Structure 1
Amino acid sequence: MIYVLGFISQVLFFTRTLIQWVLSERARKVLSPTIYWVLSIVASYLFVIYGWFRNDFAILLGQLISYYIYIWNLNETGVWKRINRFLRSILVITPIIAIVFVLQNGHYFIENFFTNEKIPVWLIIFGTLGQILFSLRFVYQWLYSMSKNESLLPIGFWLISLIGSGIIAIYGILRVDPILILGQSVGFIAYTRNIVIYKKELTKRSQSEPIYNQ
């Protein structure tokens, strides 16, 4: 059942990337569609639960970093205000409750996440670094979008995605976690393709700019 929960969340993560990729291919430019952020918050919520049951600190930390950025993007696109107020409260407060629970049960947390005999400490650190890097792409996306006053997915976002995804895929292989391996492997193509589309868009834009003779 735990793997089913993780599989569903990964399917949602993959679906958001696939939809964004297809829409960008059609528009011939990198887009930041609303459905991308809707699927992100749902998938992240489920993946946090999966990470908890898997006793995986790397997954939990990675999701908590990007969770509220998903909400910011939903608010920026106007979707957040259309969600039922009670549901919004649940979405906002759940990670906070999880953090409070962790702080109140520090010994349990350390025992299950850092002294787990099944997972070497170095592997936890390696996976955590990958998750942090992978999640920082959304911090970068958020700062970039804030500067433009618009929800965007810049090229830097996809470059960080590619590197972070590679680290997490290796972590998943070492942990023999089919959910992580599947989720990260299929994203490679979409991340690479978005970078290509973005570069073509920049090239086309530069070629269309008028050249003034001195």
Structure 2
Amino acid sequence: MDLLALFHVESGTELAWVLVGFLAQVLFGGRFVLQWWRSEKAGESVVPVGFWWLSITGGALMLAYALYRMDPVFVLGQGLGLVVYLRNLALIRKAARRRA
């Protein structure tokens, strides 16, 4: 099986970027699985800190992929999302310091 043909790419570099894109999607999608699992465990809706870390990691990889693809719509969406994810982690850290 020819991976280049399977993923409609013409070089190993392009294939590597497609694999980065898939990894980003897995990480980004994994945040929902984590949130669902933790909510089921708690018996109520919760958003664990890991949700935000998966959001940042997956979002940053997707932003890198979007920049490589030169897709301005995708770049804007992922770039703005990263600001939100980082701000949520800052707020969580601030709240933890207040409690300590």
Aligned equivalents of 1:126, 1:148: Cα separation in 2: 33
Amino acid aligned to 1:173: L
Alignment counterpart, residue 132 of structure 1, candidates 26, 30, 54: 26
Residue 8 of structure 2: which of 112, 115, 125 is its match? Answer: 115
- The structural deviation recorded for 1:170 is 0.5
| Amino acid corresponding to residue 94 of structure 2 in structure 1 | K
Indicate which of 88, 97, 100 corresponds to 1:203: 97
Count of paired positions: 95
Which digits, 9 at most, give the CA deviation of each residue in 1:48-101, with x for residues without a partner? xxxxxxxxxxxxxxxxxxxxxxxxxxxxxxxxxxxxxxxxxxxxxxxxxxxxxx
1:169, CA displacement in angstroms? 0.4
Whole-angstrom distance in 1 between the partners of 2:16 and 2:84 = 30
In structure 2, how many angstroms separate the alpha carbons of the residues matched to 1:174 and 1:200? Answer: 35
Q: Distance in 1 between matches of 2:94 and 2:17?
A: 38
Structure 2 residue runs without a partner (length 5+): none
Alignment TM-score, normalising by the size of structure 1: 0.40
Q: Does 1:150 align with 2:44?
A: yes
Larger radius of gyration: 1
- The alignment status of 1:180 with 2:74, answered yes or no, reads yes
What is the DSSP-based 3-state SS (H/G/I as helix, E as strand, rest coil) of the residue aligned with 2:44?
coil
Question: CA offsets per residue over residues 125-158 of structure 1, 9 Å max, x none?
Answer: 1111111111111111111111111112121111
Rounded to whole Å, the distance in 2 between the matches of 1:161 and 1:181 is 15
Shift in Å at residue 202 of structure 1? 2.6
**C-alpha separation between the residues in 2 aligned to 1:203 and 1:142?**
27
In the alignment, which residue of structure 2 is the partner of 1:68?
none
Structure 1 unmatched runs, 5+: 1-110, 208-214
Instruction: Give the CA deviation at 1:116.
Output: 4.2
Counterpart selection for 2:64 from 155, 170, 185: 170
Identity of aligned residues (%): 36
Length-normalised TM-score, structure 2: 0.81
Query: What's the Cα RMSD here?
Result: 2.1
